[in-house]
Amino acid sequence: MAGDGCEVSDLDQDKYDSAENVKIICLGDSAVGKSKLMERFLMDGFRPQQLSTFALTLYKYSTCVDGNTVLVDFWDTAGQERFHSMHASYYHKAHACIMVFDVQRKITYKNLGKWYQELREYRPEIPCIVVANKIDADIRVTQKGFNFGKKHNLPFYFVSAADGTNVVKLFKDAIKLAVSYKQNSQDFLDEVMRELENFELEKQEAEDLSEKEDLSEDGEKPKAV
Ligand SMILES: Nc1nc2c(ncn2[C@@H]2O[C@H](COP(=O)(O)OP(=O)(O)OP(=O)(O)O)[C@@H](O)[C@H]2O)c(=O)[nH]1
Ligand SMILES: [Mg+2]
């Protein structure tokens, strides 16, 4: 992405502290359609960027929420989810999560519990939307009750990356939730992290100061008369 000035800060998590940036992550078993959903939503203007070191793809998207420009980074994984565990940095400073399962494979629905548990370990309070993908394969699945959403009090959508059903709604809602989370949250972990960062800074300052004092003491030793 030459020339747009983004390359340096792409993985600079501090940018998510600024008001206009939000980070939305996607979770779920391999092959449930996470990437296809993102591609379907971003088709007109998506700019995939393969960062092989981190094995993830960032999709950048700019939109307007309540009259303000919002830059969204959608984070998509490239394979690690097969091991049912993501690197902590994937969750770090995320503002919303889209959690996907495949209506054709029961196991991917069963595994939502594991994904949700891991999500909550890192991000106890961010909004999370549960998504039943591939409904085009058999529309009758929409008659079924999938209780995971209800059980955890999470919004639930039937979607299809293949024919586009509900995809725009899903992503627009996810962005709104991410922005409102960012504006209103008093996420306990965020607070703790901020406190810890301040604490580290203060500690460092104190150490620097005492080093200086030691030095000046050395330099001003009373001379023997
Ligand atoms: N019928 C149908 N197939 C879909 C749909 N979405 C994705 N697929 C297919 O499912 C397969 C997996 O889709 P991906 O988007 O690559 O899945 P993923 O979750 O990103 O998989 P990993 O990157 O391995 O974690 C592909 O063959 C897609 O064509 C859908 O809505 N309907
Ligand atoms: Mg993928």
pTM of the shown model: 0.77
pLDDT-based confidence at residue 52 (cuts at 50, 70, 90): very low
Is residue 76 domain-resident? yes
- pLDDT above 70: residue 133: yes
ipTM: 0.99
Is residue 217 domain-resident? no
CATH code for the domain in which residue 96 is found: 3.40.50.300
Which among 157, 156, 162 has a CA at the least distance from the CA of 137? 162
Query: Residues 36-48: what's their mean pLDDT?
Result: 71
Q: Domain range holding 73?
A: 22-185
- Looking at residue 3, what is its pLDDT? 35
Q: Which residue has the tokens 């449930």?
A: 32
Is residue 1 domain-resident? no
Q: First CA to last CA across the chain, in angstroms?
A: 70
Distance 126 CA to ligand 1 centre (A): 25
| Cα separation, 111 vs 162, whole angstroms | 23
Is residue 46 domain-resident? yes
pLDDT-based confidence at residue 15 (cuts at 50, 70, 90): low
pLDDT-based confidence at residue 200 (cuts at 50, 70, 90): low
Q: Which amino acid is at 202?
A: E
Is residue 27 domain-resident? yes
Q: Which residue's alpha carbon is nearest to atom 2 within ligand 1?
A: 134
Is residue 138 domain-resident? yes
The mean-pLDDT minimum among 61-70, 151-160, 183-192 falls in: 183-192
Contact 94, 120 (CB under 8 A): no
Is residue 70 domain-resident? yes
Whether 60 lines ligand 1, by a CB cut-off of 6 Å, is no
Q: Which ligand is nearest to the CA of 37?
A: 1
- Looking at residue 2, what is its pLDDT? 36
Helix and strand counts by DSSP (H, E) for the chain:
7, 7
Number of separate domains in the chain: 1
